[in-house]
A and B are shown apart, each in its own frame.
Chain A
Amino acid sequence: MSTRQGSFRQRIAPLHTWSGLIVGWLMLAIAVTGTMTVFRPETSAWMRPEVAQTSPPEQALRAAVAYLRERAPDAPGWYLQMPDDRTPTLQAVFADESAPQGYRDIALDPVTGRPDSMRETLGGEFLYRFHFELQLPYPWGRILASAAGMLMLITLVSGIIIHRRIFADFFTFRSAKGQRSWLDAHNVLGVLALPFHIMIAATGILTLVTLTFPWAGYAAYGKDEAALVADLYPGIVERERAGTPAPLADMPALLKRAQDLFDGAPVSRVSIENPGDAAATVTMARSDAASLGYGAEDATFDGVTGKLLKHYRQVEPARTTFSVLYGLHIGRFAPDVTRWLYFLCGLALSGLIATGLILWVEARRKRPHFGLAFVERVNVGMVTGLPLGLVALFWANRLLPPHMPDRVVAEPRFFFWAWGAALLIALIRPPRRAWPELSALVALGAAALPFLSWAVTGRGLWDALLAGDWLFLGADLLAFAFAAMFARITIALRRKGAPPREVRAKREAMA
């Protein structure tokens, strides 16, 4: 009774099919937002078109600290992401009880150090956060995303096992053959970027492993949790708040000293603990834009006297392996070409998941039932709803009044509303209608985006071309490329939804 017939490969097949379905919808959302996150700094910059100026890091840091001193003097810490050649603005995170999530994550102008010169937006931070927090409260979103990542990895490995002719299928695509074509597309997308898919799923799990899998640490350290924390974060200097106020040391000077310690490499993050207190500390992290590993070196100074308290440089082999795997996931090291490869592989992964979901339905068409109809309709809503949500997010960014109250949370709402609306339409309309209708909507929305942006910001495609403004040029061209892709899908699906050729010929003959 508990025997499963057939070969090893056949026994693994249900694992692939069912883990794929369970995780498919969630993973599609994670893959799409993750793919967008490859261009997180660029997305942020595009979403803040007012910022035209940059300033040297010392000046940006000085201005930001001056602003934070008046805005959040009592916050336990200020966490700053420094501007670089991809991001003109400085990003600041600090605790704030009046904020919806208990903390603020705001962009600061690199010249004035203030947020008010630009529209209030989370920029690329929203999609980045959604990618692993799924808009759920801590820690549930992260746990769910990790579980999805593990199911994804299991689906990939079992997919390789059940795949008979992995190399031959690389060159096989039989178009317009229904289920066979979906399978071919699924295989090509899967095999083409297979090392990427496995790498991104496995390293994605690793990024959240301190939350989801603390057991090795507990086993090795037992009850000595303080030692575990100290060993895990060797660069950190813990200090109790003294309670006596003291002015912060000169930030640009500390920045300069940190850069000297890092052989001249730029600083990417500045963490100021207990600002304004006698026990203040300032930790500067070396930028990982030019190295594979994540968080490989930092320096901590006394926040008042400026004395160097600790200089940590990663040398341990296992930790370095971990940080390189982590760095591979976030891909910040990637130069332009590699970054585009990450983006394209992310698209391939999204396509792999989407075709897998469609294939699940196609393979069961012969025996229709309620569950199948439901899966098919949700598939339509997810595959078209996510891009529609992105289009709505970018439209909202351009159209909402720049300083309306709670704009930061209003923008992402359009992402969820559009996604939800697509799901609703997909549930109500028959799939052969909903597919082309929603695809057409995505195509129109994406195609209109560059014109809308031009009308609002005055920075059109032509000006971007003349000015060599790669950011706006790239965004506009990408919007057109997606519009073309969804227009192509619409046309293909409309043809498919039309009555078969023989019927049409008969009708025409009779007319």
Chain B
Amino acid sequence: MLAHTARILLASLGAYALAVAAASLLARTLPIARIEATFTATMLAIPVMVGAAILAYGCRHARDAALWIIGGVLVLGGVAWMVPA
């Protein structure tokens, strides 16, 4: 039951959070005009979210999925936080 709930939350909220983190990092670091980086990052966020949802269910252990997704949010989000806007 716990594992089920974990996978559902990882595939929804976790996937969205990972997309936000990845898009924020890309938007701040891509070496192109700000608006172009914004468009690029926003478009790439969609496959990131789909991939994260697949990952949430594809991992053998819910724990591994949590590690990848929450870890990804923290690492990508953390770097994005440190890079100036």
Binding site for B on A (CB under 8 A): 1-4, 8, 11-12, 14-15, 19, 150, 153-154, 157-158, 161, 202, 205-206, 209, 213, 215-222, 224, 227-228, 231-232, 316-319, 321-322, 325
Q: Assuming the A-B contacts A1-B3, A316-B35, are A219 and B53 also in contact, with contact meaning beta carbons closer than 8 angstroms in the complex?
A: no
B 44-85 to A, binary, CB cutoff 8 A, 1 in contact else 0: 011001100110111111110000000000000000100001
Q: Check A219/B57 contact, CB under 8 A, given A213-B19, A318-B39, A322-B43.
A: no
* Residues on A with beta carbons closer than 8 Å to the beta carbon of B28: 219-220
- Cα A206 to Cα B24 in complex, Å, equals 17
Give the number of A-B contacts (CB < 8 Å).
122
**CB-defined contacts of B53 to chain A, threshold 8 Å:** 15, 19, 154, 158
A213 partner residues in chain B, CB cutoff 8 A? 19-20, 23, 42, 45
Q: Are A219 and B24 in contact (CB under 8 A)?
A: yes
Kindly provide the distance from the CB of B60 to the nearest chain A CB, expressed in whole angstroms: 6
Inter-chain contacts of A318 with B (CB < 8 A): 32, 35-37, 39-40, 43
Judged by DSSP, the binding face of B is helix
Identify B27's interface contact among A8, A11, A219, A319, CB under 8 A: A219
User: With A157-B50, A316-B36 in contact, is A219–B85 under 8 Å at CB?
Assistant: yes
The answer on a CB contact under 8 Å between A217 and B27 is yes
Q: How far is the CB of A499 from chain B (nearest CB, A)?
A: 41
Contact B49 A150 (CB under 8 A): yes
Instruction: Report A-chain residues with C-beta under 8 Å of the C-beta of B37.
Output: 216, 220, 318
Determine the distance from Cα of A3 to Cα of B62 in the docked complex, in whole angstroms: 7
Q: Contacting A216 at CB < 8 Å: which of B3, B6, B45, B60?
A: B45
CB nearest neighbor in B for A154: B53
Determine the distance from Cα of A219 to Cα of B66 in the docked complex, in whole angstroms: 25
- Say yes or no: B39 contacts A321, CB within 8 Å: yes
By the criterion CB–CB under 8 Å, are B80 and A232 in contact? Answer: no
Residues of A within 8 A of B59 (CB): 11
- State which of B27, B54, B56, B63 has its C-beta within 8 Å of the C-beta of A161: B54
Considering the chains assembled together, what is the distance between the CA atoms of A221 and B36 in angstroms?
Answer: 12
Q: Are B61 and A3 in contact (CB under 8 A)?
A: yes
Within 8 Å CB of B42, what residues of A? 209, 213, 216-217, 322
A8 touches B43 (CB 8 A): no
Q: State whether A12 touches B36 (Cβ < 8 A).
A: no
